[in-house]
């Protein structure tokens, strides 16, 4: 069996902000693994480099709360004060109907929640920065956040790293190319054991 024949499995990638999860997810999507990206929904403002429906589904807070009330979310979290992120159930259904394996780029608690729902059908990968100091350097080099936001992200990262042992695989992103290679090998092995 090759990767193109596998479908219906889930790959969850979680990490503290700035640890490299989005870069690794993009690499996996380009690796011929029959992966479909689960686009999350959020109420936060769209950044200039983001596209509606590709990066996120952007909604206002009332619409996000309506998704919660209607039980339309597989998981959701208030990741930062006033900023909500979640996974729409119909997004998962859409990708499964396309005969895809699904890859999620989600926060740590969201990743654990999805793993708890799908159990052995899901591979949960935690991307860990080599240190909080290295993470601080990466966040500052992105030039997307104020020092106040960076301080908040670092505090949250310290807390999130305590959950790493709840994931199936921990990849330390000290060398990006090596981390991408390890992630691909782990996902391939998981999909082929189906």
Q: How would you list the strands of the sheet with 169-172, edge to edge?
A: 35-37, 101-106, 10-14, 122-128, 169-172
How confident is residue 138, by pLDDT bands cut at 50, 70 and 90? confident
Residue 93 has pLDDT above 70, yes or no: yes
Q: Which helix (H) or strand (E) holds 156?
A: helix 147-160
Q: DSSP letter string over 69-128?
A: HTT-EEEEEEEETTEEEEEEHHHHHHHHHTT-EEEEEE-HHHHHHHHHHHGGGEEEEEEE
Each residue of 3-62: pLDDT tens digit?
445 579 999 999 998 899 999 999 999 999 999 999 999 999 998 889 999 999 999 999
Give residue 52's pLDDT.
Answer: 96
Q: What is the CATH number of the domain that holds 109?
A: 3.40.50.300
pLDDT recorded at residue 60: 97
pLDDT of residue 115: 97
Residue 66 belongs to domain spanning: 3-192
Nearest to 187 by CA among 62, 85, 103, 106: 103
Residue 2: pLDDT over 70: no
Q: What pLDDT does 172 receive?
A: 96
> Helix %, strand %, coil % for the chain, to 5?
45, 25, 30
| Cβ neighbours of 117 (radius 10 Å) | 13
> What pLDDT was estimated at residue 1?
45
pLDDT reported for residue 6: 58
Distance, CA of 178 to CA of 168 (rounded, Å): 18
Q: CA-CA-CA-CA torsion for 31, 5, 95, 51, nearest 10 degrees?
A: 20
Nearest-CA neighbor of 127 among 12, 20, 36? 20
Q: What is the reported pLDDT for 3?
A: 46
Q: What is the pTM of this model?
A: 0.89
Q: Residue range 76-92: average pLDDT?
A: 92
Q: How many domains does the chain have?
A: 1
CA distance 130 to 136: 11
Length of the chain in terms of residues written:
194
């Amino acid at each position: 069996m090759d990767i193109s024949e596998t479908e219906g499995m889930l790959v969850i990638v979680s990490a503290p902000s700035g640890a490299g999860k989005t870069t690794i997810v993009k690499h996996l999507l380009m690796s011929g693994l029959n992966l479909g990206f689960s686009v999350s929904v959020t109420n936060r403002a769209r950044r200039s480099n983001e596209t509606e429906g590709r990066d996120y589904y952007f909604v206002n807070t009332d619409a996000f709360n309506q998704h919660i009330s209607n039980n339309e979310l597989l998981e959701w979290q208030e990741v930062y004060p006033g900023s909500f992120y979640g996974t729409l159930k119909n997004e998962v259904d859409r990708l499964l109907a396309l005969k895809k394996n699904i890859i999620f780029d989600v926060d740590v608690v969201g990743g654990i929640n999805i793993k708890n729902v799908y159990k052995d059908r899901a591979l949960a990968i935690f991307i860990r920065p080599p240190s909080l100091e290295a993470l601080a350097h990466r966040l500052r080099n992105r030039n997307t956040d104020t020092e106040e936001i960076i301080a908040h992200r670092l505090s949250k990262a310290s807390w999130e790293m305590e959950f790493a042992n709840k994931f199936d695989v921990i990849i330390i992103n000290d060398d990006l190319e090596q981390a991408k290679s390890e992630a691909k090998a782990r996902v391939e092995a998981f999909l082929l054991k189906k």
